[in-house]
Structure 1
Amino acid sequence: MQRIAFKMQLFPGFEEEYKKRHDELWPELKQLLKDAGISDYSIFLDETTNNLFGVMKAEDAAKLNDLPATEIMQKWWKQNVGIMETNPDNSPVQIPLKELFYLP
């Protein structure tokens, strides 16, 4: 099991909308993430910077490379354009974070 952490940038004023969208996460997207081996997935907001901090466990991080090609992931990304920083393919700009400490 691998732990993966990253940060993203939410645009000001979209905190509630971002939370709402994730509270109403589509069942087919939830299943896609679970099928890819993702578990214990959380996203936190730093309200002083609007940075989002994501952390998840993945059975095999290589399986995550297949997610962008799925129709449901493309649809999710497109929905979130305009509320956060995105790449030209509509995926969220994600900055990987290096782990420096872990207390199991």
Structure 2
Amino acid sequence: MMIHAFKMQLKPGVVDEYRRRHDEIWPELSALLTEAGIHDYSIFLDEDTLSLFAVLKADENSTRDQLPDHPVMKRWWDHMAPLMEVQADNRPVEIPLPMIFHHA
């Protein structure tokens, strides 16, 4: 199992809406993440900076790298784009965070 961590950035005034949309995550998106080998996915908010910190575990044979091509993922990104900093295709700007310590 591999651990991936990255940060993203919310726009001002959208925290409640971002939370609501994740509370109501689409069943097809949840299934897609599981099918891609992603488990234990959490997103944390720094309320002072509106930075989001995401951590997920992925199976060794995860297909996470194929998710950007999936129609459900693209629809989710379009749905979330008004709330956060995104790239031209509405994919969230993700800044990888290297692990420097882990206590198991």
TM-score normalised by L of structure 2: 0.97
Q: In the alignment, what sits opposite 2:29?
A: 29
Unaligned 5+ segments in structure 1 are none
Deviation at 1:92, TM superposition (A): 0.2
Q: In the alignment, what sits opposite 1:43?
A: 43
Q: In the alignment, what sits opposite 2:64?
A: 64
CA deviation vs aligned residue, 1:38-62 (integer Å, no higher than 9, x gap): 0000000000000000000000376
- Structure 2 residue 86 is matched with structure 1 residue 92: no
Q: Give the Cα–Cα distance (whole angstroms) in 1 for the partners of residues 81 and 44 of structure 2.
A: 19
- Structure 2 residue 18 is matched with structure 1 residue 18: yes
Q: Kindly provide the amino acid, as one letter, of the partner of residue 94 in structure 1.
A: E
Number of aligned residues? 104
TM-score normalised by L of structure 1: 0.97
8 A contact 2:36–2:62 mirrored in 1: no
CA deviation vs aligned residue, 1:5-35 (integer Å, no higher than 9, x gap): 0000001110000000000000000000000
- Percent identity between the two aligned chains: 51
8 A contact 1:2–1:61 mirrored in 2: no
8 A contact 2:5–2:54 mirrored in 1: yes
Alpha-carbon RMSD across the aligned residues, in angstroms, is 1.0
Unaligned 5+ segments in structure 2 are none
